[in-house]
Amino acid sequence: MLFRALFFLFCLTAGGLVGWWVKQQLQLSNGPWIGVTAGGVVWFVLDAVGAMRVLAYLRVNGNSESHGLLGVWKEVFERSRRLLRDRDRLLTESQRRLQDFLSAFQVSPNGVVLLDSQARIEWCNQTATHHFGIMAQRDLAQIIGNLVRDPGFIAYLASRDYQRSVTMPGRESSPSRPVVLSVQLHPYGDGRTLLLSRDITALEQADAMRRDFVANVSHEIRTPLTVLAGFVETLQTLELDDDERQHYLRLMAHQSTRMQTLVNDLLTLSRLEGSPAPDLSCWTPLSQLMAQIWQDALSLSRLITAEQGEMHQLVFDDKVDAELAGDVSELLSAMGNLVSNAIRYTPAGRVITVSTSKTPENGLMFSVMDTGPGIAPEHVGRLTERFYRVDRSRSRDTGGTGLGLAIVKHVTQRHSATLTIESKLGKGSVFRVDFPQERVRFKN
């Protein structure tokens, strides 16, 4: 400011001096005053030029140098430029942050929709697009209730009570593949709302499976328990002779064995689910497994066909000399279950073939082929579900729990093997387990 005032005085003085000199030369009495006024005008013009140059510089966003500017205008220019740069930096920074937030929301596994105070869409992420079929660009400023037409959601939106979430079917939901969404609105800011959606299909399915499982287990246990209680009451209330008592005790023993088998299978399943998969450190000769399976098959066939006088024709075609890596008891349980099913479901006298062979991929194939009733195609895909039975009474009569193939499936998965079921109604079935190369060591 001092420089500006001094420059002003300098212009006036210089103008006055020039006017005085002119007065001397031209005998002009007003010369000094005209000179002072002219000096003031020159100062004003120079000052105005400085101001205009600053404005011109600022118009191009301060992206130029202050060439030729002096004094206060140079300072005004420099300070303005610094302020502009700070503002730009802040703007860029907040834009970057906004982009970061939006990118984070974009990859969120939950659907996110930002709604304004009129429930119009301001922004949504890809998951929300997937869940509701809305698109950020296309449906911007559209009222959400016009696009998501589920009656439950519409009622929830209108209720203005967003304490709880609601469930609704997802856009891609179909009767064969239901998709369940949990949706909740969260008010924020000045009347805006955040709509969050979560795919809870798997949770709902797990919950339904758990409910079914508990209902099935209760049912399976209640039946033999009711029978047992009935026999106990009979023994307590009726006068029975020795033969009758023995008969009832045999029936009671049968029911308690059934419950024991069921509990054992349930424990096996929960152990399989709760423990890590067997590694490759324990190798068992295949011949040892086959010998055990053969013994168990003979005993079971003898027991089942005792009253029919004729056993099954058991063929063991185990020419492969190999070792299998895994848990021996699990392997025995899976292979044994397949053989025991074949024996239980195949009528006495018919052929059951158990074979092993090397696969083209250098793995091991274990298969059980029976000549029993076979299984209709619509059942085949569901056989490994817990408690799924095609022939309920035959399963129960032969001591089945409905858990055998579920155990087989778990064991094969834990050994990186695959279970394949092929069956022809009236002809028989083949249950085949393929072990991968890394779990087999061939000796011949």
Residues that bind ligand ADP (CB under 6 A): 337, 341-342, 345, 370, 372-373, 375, 383, 388-391, 395, 400-406, 429
- Cα dihedral 49, 50, 56, 59, rounded to 10, equals -140
Task: Write down the least CB distance from residue 377 to ligand ADP, Å.
Answer: 13
Q: Which is nearer to ligand ADP, 153 or 345 (CB)?
A: 345
Q: Which is nearer to ligand ADP, 206 or 376 (CB)?
A: 376
Task: Write down the least CB distance from residue 347 to ligand ADP, Å.
Answer: 11
Task: Write down the least CB distance from residue 217 to ligand ADP, Å.
Answer: 14
Task: Write down the least CB distance from residue 204 to ligand ADP, Å.
Answer: 25
Q: Which is nearer to ligand ADP, 105 or 345 (CB)?
A: 345
Q: What are phi and psi of 313, to 5 degrees?
A: -90, 100
Residue with tokens 């392997």: 331
Q: Give the C-alpha separation, 254 to 258, whole Å.
A: 6
Amino acid identity, position 206: A
Task: Write down the least CB distance from residue 121 to ligand ADP, Å.
Answer: 50
Q: Is 374 helix (H, G, I), strand (E, B) or coil?
A: coil
Assigned token pair, 254: 């049968």
Q: Which is nearer to ligand ADP, 114 or 383 (CB)?
A: 383
Which neighbouring-strand residues pair with 111?
197
Q: Which is nearer to ligand ADP, 189 or 381 (CB)?
A: 381
Task: Write down the least CB distance from residue 423 to ligand ADP, Å.
Answer: 7
Cβ neighbors of 7 (< 8 A, separation 6 or more) are 43, 71
Q: What are phi and psi of 120, to 5 degrees?
A: -95, 145
Characterize the bridge pairing of strands 364-370 and 428-435.
Answer: antiparallel
Q: Which is nearer to ligand ADP, 131 or 312 (CB)?
A: 312
Task: Write down the least CB distance from residue 175 to ligand ADP, Å.
Answer: 26
- The distance of Cα 208 from the centroid of its chain, to the nearest Å, equals 18
Helix H or strand E segment including 424: strand 418-424
Q: Which is nearer to ligand ADP, 312 or 439 (CB)?
A: 312
Cβ neighbors of 395 (< 8 A, separation 6 or more) are 344, 389, 402
Q: Which is nearer to ligand ADP, 80 or 261 (CB)?
A: 261
Got the DSSP string for 193-212? EEEEEEE-HHHHHHHHHHHH
Q: Give the C-alpha separation, 157 to 154, whole Å.
A: 5
Task: Write down the least CB distance from residue 395 to ligand ADP, Å.
Answer: 3
